[in-house]
Structure 1
Amino acid sequence: MQPASAVLPCAAMKKVLAALAVVIVLAAVAGVGAFVVMEGAVNKAVAAPGAPVVEFTVPKGTSGRGLGGLLVTQGLLSDTKVWRYHLFRRGGFSPKAGRHPVSPSMTVAELAKALEGNPLPDDIPFVVVEGWRLRDTDAALVAANLIKPGEYIAAASNPSRFKAPFPLPVTTLEGYLYPETYGIIPGDVDVEDLIQRQLDAFAARFYTPNKDAITQSGRSLHEVVVMASMLEREEPVPAQRPLVAGILWKRVDKGFPLGVDATSRYVLAQWNDRKEFLKRLRDPEDPYNTRHRKGLPPGPIGAPTVESLQAAMAPKPSEFWYYLHDAQKNLHPSRNADEHEALRKKYNVY
């Protein structure tokens, strides 16, 4: 039989071991709990599905761990610890410097994957405005310090250098270069690339989906483009353009002058130069003077939108032969010269 002094340490030791066991179990439970919490956080987005896409910039030289604070600051991440846990778990992360499209609806895993993808190109938006002539687009590119004067016009005056699923005109691409916003990289502007993209946009927006309808219209593609370029300048409300197109096509078919004053502005250095415009209106030798000359003008007078192209392709029949716009640019069609003259007096339009 052991002495009491020998028994007490053993009892104490058992209590210590039991306490340690409890601590270990609690630690294990806590660890499992923390793991579950972290796993849940990694697979949970900051915002609900459908949050808008934003641009997140990965600075050059920033480490993967260092992005956590930036992601939190921009509302894309709730906790940097979750970010660090995910990077530790995945075992490697190589973000690419630059701008990336991401969303608060993305999970942490999806954010990390997106930031390893190719960044957005360093381009800027360049807007080709509806109705612009080649000279207008050239001037805008020059004003933005993107090209030298005349570069765009020169390239667009050589259609043989470009390709399209439709017949290209021989001398100029006026009217076929679709007006919309294009991404351009400053310092590295290739005007031929821009023009090809505009031709591709023309094909995608209008020609390809309407190829059969153009044939059925009884007009050539070029005739449609010429008419559409006038509609773009003549009628500010797209919904009214089919009616105006019907009036103009009727005048063409019956051999009456169109009387579209916008055509006389086409050759002006400044579209709104009223003095030069009035001189052109009085010049019967000007091939673009549709007050004096019958039929379509020699070519398009600007870049039409798909609404104008569709109106030119599918005009609306009506009883009208004339039209004018009042000071508020409201359309007023008329059936004959007398009605047209009365409207001129009523709205003081001359």
Structure 2
Amino acid sequence: MKKLLVVVLVLLVLAGGAAGGVFFWAEKGTTTPKVVGEAPEVMFVVKKGATARTLGPELQAQGLIDDARLWRFHLWRRGGLALKAGRFLLRPSMPITEIATTLEGAPLPEDVPFVMIEGWRLRDTDEALAAKKLIKPGEYIAAANRPARFKASFPLPLRSLEGYLYPETYAVVPEGFDVEAFIQRQLDTFGMRFYDAHKAEIEKSGRSLHDIVVMASMLEREEPVPAQRSLVAGILWKRIDKGFALGVDATSRYELAEWNDRKAFLKKLRDASDPWNTRTRPGLPPGPIGAPTVDSLLGALRPEASEFWYYLHDAEKKLHPSRNAEEHEALRVKYNVY
């Protein structure tokens, strides 16, 4: 009988010790982060109708906590969680106690899409941002004309970021919109979409990155079919290398307040002193004339060799290249392009 009592007492002690060990493990687990030190932010979404208890497996799946059981233990200790639906920025370096407190706070403001159209100039993007009440008119242009305030994986121009601010749809938060942070995102996107993946090819091309960007900005406006931009680039680079005028009329539109202002455009074409007039001045224009896409950038980087020296587009925007001035003039008459 005494032996049985001793065994029971030993089992009770062991059980109590085990329970204490589990409690200690859980207590420590809620105050110790999964990652010690710096860790990237994770966008965590609490869906409408979600309960605090169901978040444990999601937090674990996104690498924010080690064990969903620790989440449940913390909920039990704190008596629940006043959960709010929305988006929250969390880190694996945050202990469970801090994660819970963050999820009880205010969620991030909802973002909205901002669509930047291919070929847009700085002034076009500025007008669109101002129309959405994200900036005051002129703020985007002013910031983009201070390249030294930004960083990039590629060499930045000294005077203006025209041509380097990648055009796509960006999710932005209207509340507290930061124009410089937005420009930095555009530069990062340019690097990610084009420069970083093609750096070695750019260096071997014999062209500077800036010249490639200038050429690409013209291709974006000149050739509507991406697959044909390499052919047009081949013609234009050939004219550059031989010292011929490019004859890219889009460059004469660059400084117009309204791109499609035909009267102002025709006046520009007659101005031989205009540095953007590539009908009369050989070489590249002074800078990019808008924001090119990766299709145009690759077209400029990989020009297609051909026998052609000229090209034009008919009323349906179909490309018609020609080998000499006589053929080009015949095509102008045929398609009534002047």
Q: Tell me the TM-score normalised to structure 2 length.
A: 0.72
How many Å apart are 1:58 and its aligned residue? 2.9
**For residue 97 of structure 1, what is the aligned residue in structure 2?**
84
Cα contact 2:81–2:104 (8 A) shared by 1:
no
Deviation at 1:346, TM superposition (A): 1.0
Q: In the alignment, does 2:250 pair up with 1:266?
A: no
Matched, 1:135 2:120: no
Match of 1:255 among 243, 261, 273: 243
In structure 2, the partner of 1:58 is 48
1:234 shift after superposition: 0.3
Q: Deviations over 1:35-61 (max 9, x none)?
A: xxxxxxxxxxxxxxxxxxxx98538xx
- Per the alignment, residue 290 of structure 2 pairs with 302
* Runs (5+) with no aligned partner, structure 2: 1-44, 55-71, 89-99
1:269–1:94: structure 2 CA closer, same or farther, 3 Å change rule? same
Alignment partner of 2:141: what SS?
helix
After TM superposition, the structure 1 = structure 2 runs for residues 200-239 of structure 1, keeping only pairs within 5 Å, are 200-239=188-227
Structure-1 separation of matches of 2:310 and 2:154: 33
CA RMSD of aligned residues (A): 2.6
Amino acid of the structure 1 residue aligned with 2:315: A
Counterpart contact for 2:51–2:83, Cα < 8 Å: no
Q: CA deviation at 1:97?
A: 2.4
SS in 1 for 2:130: helix
Change (3 A) 1:284 1:232: same
Judged with a 3 Å threshold, the aligned counterparts in structure 2 of structure 1 residues 187 and 117 are, in CA distance, closer, same or farther, namely closer
CA offset digits 1:220-246 (Å, max 9, x no partner)? 000000000000000001000000000
What does 1:1-350 align with in structure 2 at a 5 Å threshold?
57-58=47-48, 94=81, 96-99=83-86, 121-350=109-338
Whose radius of gyration is greater, 1 or 2? Answer: 1
Distance 1:209 1:63 in 2: 43
Q: Deviations over 1:57-76 (max 9, x none)?
A: 538xx9769x9xxxxxxxxx
Aligned sequence identity (%): 68
1:58–1:95 contact (8 Å) kept in structure 2:
no
Contact 1:178 1:303 (C-alpha < 8 Å) held by counterparts? yes
Partner Cα separation in structure 1 for residue 324 and residue 82 of structure 2: 70
Cα distance between partner residues in 1 of 2:193 and 2:159: 23
Contact 1:98/1:120 (<8 A) preserved = no
* Partner in structure 2 of residue 75 of structure 1: none
Match of 1:22 in 2: none
Structure 1 unaligned regions, length at least 5: 1-54, 68-86, 102-112
Kindly state the Cα deviation for residue 300 of structure 1 after the two structures are TM-superposed: 0.2
Deviation at 1:165, TM superposition (A): 1.4
| One-letter identity of the residue aligned with 1:58 | K
TM-score calculated relative to the size of structure 1: 0.69
- Give deviations 1:261-320, integer Å, cap 9, x for gaps: 000000000000000000000000000000000000000000000110011011000000
- What's the CA shift for 1:188? 1.0
The residue that corresponds to 2:3 in the other structure is: none
SS of equivalent residue, structure 2 residue 320: strand
The one-letter amino acid paired with 1:271 is: W
- The 2-side partners of 1:223 and 1:117 are apart by 52
SS in 2 for 1:320: coil
CA–CA distance in structure 2, aligned partners of residues 294 and 265 of structure 1: 17
Rounded to whole Å, the distance in 1 between the matches of 2:286 and 2:211 is: 10
Q: Distance in 1 between matches of 2:328 and 2:250?
A: 19
Q: 8 Å contact 2:122–2:290 — kept in the other structure?
A: yes
